[in-house]
């Protein structure tokens, strides 16, 4: 298929459903969604006209056809990769798309076999078992500065298939039963996509984009579990699901990435969530908390000193 055929033959609503995105409500041929392209939205402002097969985001003033939307939702993919993904007989979910993009790139470099265009291209979880020491998965965690002791209570070794191929990755479960999947060469997730909320009964909650950052905090200070709950977004596209959880806490500490999307999300949360504090300056000049740990382990330890200092100040009313 080419771009014109994709725009003419694939319904935007089907594409969004394949990404786990459902309409908030429908009015005739207009289907309204929480915007999948922006962060921290409470009121649906993203409209799809099913008669015209066009979308329009009232919050950003942008709109277009399905290919335009797919490029926005898969920002790291090339035009060719998005064409390949949308050309499959079954539209791939975001989780599958992320994995297939990685595989397509490796195939181009001669590093891995291609994924077949089977009718079902979704990730199927085959088995989840405890992580074991001295394996490729735990060696990968060690490269990221994470010990098995820290990861074991929250992660598993997950075997899964895509088409006829089988793989294994570190699995981090979300609240709906899906998994974030990581190993040394790809980053993906299984359906359903959702946030992960680790409730510790604390008045403080730490908000992070990914589970590697969550594990990093615990690696640096295991006792943080006694004083904080944790909410891992697993994707900034899930941030609207976090607002209710964040609202139940007296203090919200933000550990989002140092990129444009992360900064925009932090700014919106600071405006909309009471008693919210952006702690990303603590890992300045690094994309995220884990990157700081890997690059400068000793400097990373000071990150937790910054967290503690802010909590003490809050208790004193400063």
> Residue 246: pLDDT above 90?
yes
More confident residue, 232 or 265: 232
pLDDT of residue 234: 93
pLDDT of residue 44: 87
DSSP strands (E only) in 90-173: 123-130, 155-162, 165-173
Q: How far apart are CA 190 and CA 94, in angstroms?
A: 9
Residue with tokens 């950003």: 60
pLDDT in tens, 150-165: 999 999 999 998 878 8
pLDDT in tens, 101-141: 454 444 444 444 333 333 333 788 999 999 999 999 999 99
pLDDT of residue 284: 84
Name the CATH superfamily, with its identifier, for domain 3-87: Zinc finger, CHC2-typedomain (3.90.580.10)
Q: Using only C-alpha atoms, what is the Rg of the chain? A: 20
Cis link prior to 192 (omega < 30° from 0)? yes
pLDDT in tens, 11-66: 898 888 776 678 888 999 999 988 887 655 678 889 999 999 999 988 888 889 99
pLDDT in tens, 60-79: 888 899 988 988 887 766 78
For residues 253 and 206, is the Cβ–Cβ distance under 8 A?
yes
For residues 111 and 184, is the Cβ–Cβ distance under 8 A?
no
What is the domain class of 196-315 according to CATH?
Answer: alpha beta
pLDDT in tens, 176-216: 999 999 988 777 888 888 999 999 999 999 999 999 999 99
For residues 185 and 106, is the Cβ–Cβ distance under 8 A?
yes
> Residue 95: pLDDT above 60?
no
pLDDT of residue 232: 97
> Residue 236: pLDDT above 80?
yes
pLDDT of residue 15: 84
pLDDT of residue 97: 47
CA-wise closest residue to 34 among 209, 238, 176: 238
pLDDT of residue 309: 52
Domain boundaries, the chain: 3-87, 123-189, 196-315
Topology match between the domains 3-87 and 196-315:
no
Q: Model-level pTM?
A: 0.63
pLDDT in tens, 251-290: 999 999 988 888 888 988 998 888 899 998 888 888 899 9
pLDDT of residue 306: 56
């Amino acid at each position: 298929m080419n771009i014109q055929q994709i725009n003419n033959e694939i319904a935007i609503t089907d594409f969004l459903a394949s990404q786990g995105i459902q309409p908030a409500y429908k009015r005739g041929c207009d289907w309204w969604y929480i915007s999948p392209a922006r962060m921290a939205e409470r009121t649906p402002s993203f409209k799809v006209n099913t008669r015209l097969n066009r979308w329009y985001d009232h919050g950003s003033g942008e709109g277009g056809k399905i290919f335009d939307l797919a490029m926005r939702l898969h920002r790291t993919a090339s035009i060719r990769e998005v064409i390949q993904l949308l050309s499959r007989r079954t539209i791939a979910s975001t989780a599958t798309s992320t994995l297939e993009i990685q595989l397509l790139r490796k195939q181009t470099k001669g590093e891995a076999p291609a994924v077949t265009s089977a009718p079902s291209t979704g990730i199927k979880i085959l088995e989840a078992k405890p992580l074991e020491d001295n394996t490729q998965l735990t060696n990968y965690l060690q490269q990221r500065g994470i010990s098995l002791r820290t990861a074991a209570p929250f992660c598993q070794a997950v075997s899964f298939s895509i088409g006829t191929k089988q793989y294994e990755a570190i699995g981090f479960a979300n609240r709906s039963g899906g998994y974030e999947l990581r190993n040394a060469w790809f980053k993906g997730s299984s359906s359903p996509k959702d946030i992960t909320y680790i409730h510790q009964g604390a008045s403080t909650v730490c908000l992070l984009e990914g589970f590697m950052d969550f594990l990093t905090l615990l690696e640096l200070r295991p006792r943080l579990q006694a004083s904080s709950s944790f909410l891992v977004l697993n994707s900034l596209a899930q941030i609207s699901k976090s607002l209710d959880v964040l609202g139940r806490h007296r203090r919200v500490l933000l550990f989002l990435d140092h990129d444009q999307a992360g900064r925009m999300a932090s700014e919106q949360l600071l405006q909309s969530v009471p008693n919210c504090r952006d702690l990303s300056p603590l890992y300045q000049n690094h994309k995220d908390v884990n990157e700081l740990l890997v690059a400068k382990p000793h400097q990373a330890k000071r990150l937790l000193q910054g967290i503690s200092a802010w909590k003490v100040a809050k208790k004193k009313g400063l």
